[in-house]
Amino acid sequence: MVEQFREYAREVREMMPNESWANHVYTLAVRVLNSQFGNDWLERHIFASDNQSPFFRNVDAAAGDEALHRARVVDLAETIINLRKVPGLIDVLHEMKLGHIEDRFAELEVAKMLVMAGSRVNFVTPGGPRGSSYDLEIATSAGKVCADVKCKVESSPSPSSSAILNTLKGARTQLPNDQMGAFFLKCPQSWAPDGDIKPPLSEMLEQAAFEFLRGTQRVVAIVMYFNIVLPMNGGLGVYNVYQQMLNSRHRFGGDQVPVLPLKHEPFIAPRPDWVRLADVFDHPTTQPHTAAFEAGAAAID
């Protein structure tokens, strides 16, 4: 894969010698997605009108959407590259190729958070029977945790404890009864526009989570997370913030079982081995990224 990645970068430079750094990065991301999903998928989901595939936003849509479109395209390409060794990724990408975009994107986001936190994780083949229809398995010091990812709560324009509770209650039976379970709920950025989870939002999230946890012993943790897109370095940056609630009454004995670090900083700065497409090309305000590119290319070999 490393040679293919280098070849894509060379092709972009040769095709667009006078284009901006941002256009180079975006075009490289599109090349990565094309190699994974094919041209038909790109035409339908990346370049389609906003009505056909609203998640990625079309570059011809409303003012301001082009930056969001580019940020999500680059983020998806980088995430696929960096999660390529996670078991089960091929099944998630297959579902995404079939058009299941937002749910699968959320699973990739959660896996990205876990990998960046240093956790070992694998995707689970979807469509299992009741009690085994979850998305991820996470290795913790207490043992394996079966985790399910939900993004339906994103449809609520304002913070809503009822939306959270309804989502959790409807998904409880997807987790096995005899193994540790966890939920990751993706909340809309409109609830935390600046990426800061603070009162009264943080209090509402805690109240909803603990109300649910009082009625279950199979779930050890609930993580409410936000995929934040904000201006950064002349463009838009994408990162995740989360609030984690732990169940002290779970049936598996021992201490509480966190699935992510209890204390965290927003994931703006990537791990040293995290490949960033922005590092492949020389940014106009920085020194050449040759060394960074070589390190990144070696990381994906």
Q: Is-cis flag, bond preceding 126, omega within 30?
A: no
Residue 275 is predicted with a pLDDT of 85
What is the reported pLDDT for 32? 93
pLDDT at 154: 57
Q: Which two tokens stand for residue 252?
A: 């598996």
Question: Buried b vs exposed e over 46-80: b needs ≥16 C-beta within 10 Å?
Answer: bbeebeebeebbbeebeeebbbbbbbbbbbbbbbb
Domain boundaries, the chain: 1-84, 87-266
pTM: 0.87
pLDDT value of position 153: 60
> What is the CA 104 to chain-centroid distance, rounded?
9
CB count within 10 Å of CB 172 equals 16
pLDDT of residue 283: 60
Give the per-residue pLDDT at 232.
74
Report pLDDT for 278: 81
| Residue numbers of the chain with a pLDDT score lower than 50 | 63, 286-301
Task: Decide: 77 and 29 in contact? Cβ < 8 Å.
Answer: yes
pLDDT of 62: 53
